Structure 1
Amino acid sequence: MPDAAAGWLLPVVFVATYLAMAAGRVPRFRIDRTGMAFIGAVVLLACGAVTSRQAAGFIDLPTLVMLFGLMVLSTQFEIAGAYGWCAARIAGYRGSPLVLLALVVAVAGGLSAVVANDVVAFAMTPLLCAGLTARGLDPRPYLIALAGASNAGSAATIIGNPQNILIAQAGALDFWRFLLVCGPPALMGMACVFATVAFVWHGAFRRQAAATNSVADPPTVHPPAVDRPALAKALAATMLLVALFASPLPHEVAVAGVAALLFVSRRHETRSLMAGVDWSLIVLFASLFVVTGAMSASAYGAGAAAWIALGRVDLAALGPLAGFSLLASNTVGNVPAVMLLLSVWPAPGEAALQALAVLSTHAGNLLLIGSLANLIVSERARRSGVVLDFRTHARCGIPMALASLGASLAWFSLLGPLAWR
């Protein structure tokens, strides 16, 4: 393809791909974000704007290996019945609605810091819907708390969510230093989720408490059986992974090694672990790597990088970084937004990357489209007969996201690694 044609095709494909990320679908077609990103990458390859060798070079294989391995570990917990057991125990709790809400926030946030938050949201949503509906409770506030807490809690570690994995690989971030810096704002974000849902739904909780007290023998929610050997294996694998993170071994090699050990089993076939891998998310990452990589390697990307480097856009300051996170995460989504920013941001420091991880994650709670976890909870709830729509989520999402961002900004400014501009 002539260079002149490739020159105009690249920005067109790039803009079209990210518009599709923002819209979430193509009108009159059943094409989602992954499909559009893949089509964009294929168009660039087919038209010669990017060669196969260049495309392979743009794809960050260590990040994809990290994603794959962590999904395998999460699937091991799901096979063991850990997520179902937690969700059923929460739904069957007989105490006050506020204590039940606190349990949802604590369990979802805690699990999401260790395993991928999207898997936690996927596994717990239908069981919470079934258990709470059987008890005559409205599942919606607890589902909002599930999505919000899984996002907030995942900000604590480099393995909590896809964008953190991407950021950690880009900056070679240390697991323990990241936890030390980002753990406190993650806990503050979980507190904001609890406080916001408790305030917005206080009337409904009061009515639920009264209705529960008036029922002499409320229905029992039976937790599913737990496969104890499989759970022990999952816990051992997690402890091994955390120990390996303290070693000089590259993170992606540590995660891949743990996943390989999980495949060695006399009770569960490899395909059962592979079935839990979100291949759609991996294809989305690979496709966006190609599209954003091609753009960043072009004159357009070089110009954007130079603009940032000259200080025209001061992304090393908390204010602009928070503004970008809030706007981009709730248009194209926090994963594509982070990938786009990293492709043109020249040499961001460790402190800036830590702040980006927390701010982009908390910003994803603002609207239903802000994060994959939100969309997963909404879709899984719909299949269980519970409608969690855009407006219902926004009633809690907007204040919880703004409160979380405010608390995080205060935390980072107190630490002093970044300066207000």
Structure 2
Amino acid sequence: MLVFALGKSPVFRVDRAGIAIIGAALTVGTGVMSFDRAVQAVDYRTIVLLFSMMIITSYLNMSGFFQLAGNQFLNRLHSKSQLMLMVILITGILSAFFINDIICLILTPIVIMITRQAKLNPTPYLLGVATASNIGSAATLIGNPQNILIGSLSHINFAWYMALAIPLTLLGLGLIYVMISWMYKVELSGQLPEVRPMIGVVHGYLVKKGLVVVFLILVGFLMGFDPALVASLGAAYLLITRRIKPNKIYSGIDFNLLVIFIGLFVIIGGVEHSGLLMLLINTPWMKSIQSLWVFSILTVILSNIISNVPAVMLLKYLVPLHMGHIWWASLAVFSTFAGNLTLTGSIANLIVVELAKKEKVEINFVTYLKIGLPLTVIMASVALVYFTIVTKVFHII
């Protein structure tokens, strides 16, 4: 779990994907689980949904959609504060419907390029990308890996969760804008210099085709169809094209993340099969977790210690049958909001920082913490009150 928290081994050159492979191999190799049981432990619906959404996002990127959208917004901006607001809104909205890690991969280089062309300090805008990607992704059950996992495990209604989470997401995006604008008021004051549009190939037909498919997929989700099936059909249809080579689309797929998920399913399955998990859950301390407040705070803490996906895989066993849908929803929201606490709180944060570092833009731990810590504390506090009210309403109904 140390490697999942740090992102790599402090001794060997092993990353999260590597340790997932090693852990899964040891689980089977040491006889904790048979190979057949290990295969059964993998939730393939989650893997298919995650893989399909990656294909769709990569397709839109290759078609030039994100570049086109960026240029359209740039043409309508006049001040630096407007640019900040637009960065936060675009990141938040896109992260709600596409995997936030991939949105960060796409938008970070674009934001750096725009700020350099306009001779602006890129740091506040990149902080906006990182934090908004986490907050925005909490709005749906397809915005980030842990929410995709929760949606698959819990079978809670997509539209119901979205209606529940959107108010918190909108509040969070607004709070990000206020906090960054206050902290970087000097850098964000004044008019925006004239910026040249981003140059690149835009395939108009492919953009339209991709947006129509995304719209139909979202309609399918809202109508209650199997998300994995709907997303895979959409991804399969987008692969039928003469204009983009399949290898270019595949290059946008984060296979490391898929490997991490498969490995974690096997590892957690092994822990469960060995009886160790039930031993842990049956301890007096774990049995005492019957409060949504305690559960939510524990979610934030564990998400920062062992990363949000492993935290969800462990905490799913504490969700009660009674009012389980509320607990699942809180698990999705709090494990996502927790990603903003520290620089290492989510993979999305690390993607932004690492890409910025390659472009000679340094965002250190303290710089991020000044925004991330108060943002997470405020949003977690508001969410606790919000879910308490929601729980009481559902009890009355």
In the TM superposition, 1:3-402 aligns within 5 A as 18-87=1-70, 95-206=78-189, 209=190, 218=194, 220-247=196-223, 249-307=225-283, 311-314=287-290, 317-343=291-317, 345=319, 347=321, 349-402=324-377
Measure how far apart 1:280 and its partner are. Answer: 0.3
Task: Check the 8 A contact 2:281/2:287 in 1, yes or no.
Answer: no
Q: Secondary structure at the match of 1:234?
A: helix
For 1:218-260, what per-residue CA distance to the aligned partner results, in whole angstroms no more than 9, with x for missing partners? 5534353422111111111111112222445322111111111
Q: Separation in 1 of the partners of 2:216 and 2:248?
A: 22
When residues 24 and 418 of structure 1 are mapped into structure 2, their CA distance, relative to the original with a 3 A threshold, is farther
Compared CA separation, residues 197 and 318, structure 1 to 2 (3 A): farther
The one-letter code sitting in structure 2 at the alignment partner of 1:100 is L
Give the TM-score, by structure 2 length: 0.92
Q: Measure how far apart 1:313 and its partner are.
A: 1.9
2:306, 2:393 → 1: CA distance?
A: 26
Distance 1:243 1:222 in 2: 32
Q: Distance in 2 between matches of 1:89 and 1:376?
A: 25
1:49 Cα offset (Å): 2.0
Structure 2 CA distance for aligned equivalents of residues 55 and 418 of structure 1:
41
For 2:376, the aligned partner's letter is A
Change (3 A) 1:350 1:242: same
What secondary structure does 1:205 align onto? Answer: coil
User: Quick one: structure 1 residues 417 and 334, their matched pair in 2 at CA, closer, same or farther if it must change by over 3 Å?
Assistant: farther
Deviation of 1:153 (Å) = 0.8
Q: TM-score, normalised by structure 1?
A: 0.87
For residue 84 of structure 1, report the CA deviation from its aligned partner: 2.7
Instruction: Give the secondary structure class of the aligned counterpart of 1:143.
Output: helix
Question: Which whole-Å deviations, capped at 9, do the CAs of 1:32-81 have from their partners, x for residues lacking one?
Answer: 11111211111222222221111101111100001001111111110121
Contact 1:89–1:223 (Cα < 8 Å) also in 2: no
Change (3 A) 1:328 1:93: farther
2-structure distance, mates of 1:113, 1:141: 21
Amino acid at match of 2:300: L
Say how many residue pairs are matched.
393
Q: Is the 8 A contact 1:92 1:131 kept in 2?
A: no
3-state SS in 1 of match to 2:243: coil
Q: Equivalent pairs: percent with the same residue?
A: 30
CA offset digits 1:277-309 (Å, max 9, x no partner) = 110000000001111111122221112333489
Partners of 2:324 and 2:284 lie apart in 1 by: 14
Q: Which amino acid aligns with 1:56?
A: V
Find the aligned partners of 2:393 and 2:368 in 1 and give their Cα distance.
32
Cα pair 2:32 2:273 within 8 Å, conserved: no
2:93 and 2:333 map into 1 onto residues whose CA distance is 16
Distance across 2 between alignment mates of 1:356 and 1:59: 20
Are the structure 2 counterparts of residues 264 and 198 from structure 1 closer, same or farther at C-alpha, using a change threshold of 3 Å? same
Secondary structure of the residue aligned to 1:239 is helix
Within 2, Cα distance between the matches of 1:219 and 1:181?
A: 39
Q: Identify unmatched segments of 5+ residues in structure 1.
A: 1-17
CA apart distance, 1:276: 1.5
The 1-side partners of 2:11 and 2:384 are apart by 41
Q: How far apart are residue 189 of structure 1 and its match?
A: 1.4
2: distance between equivalents of 1:196 and 1:406? 16
> What CA distance in whole angstroms lies between the structure 2 residues aligned with 1:266 and 1:219?
34
Comparing 336-345 with 303-312, greater Cα deviation is found at 303-312
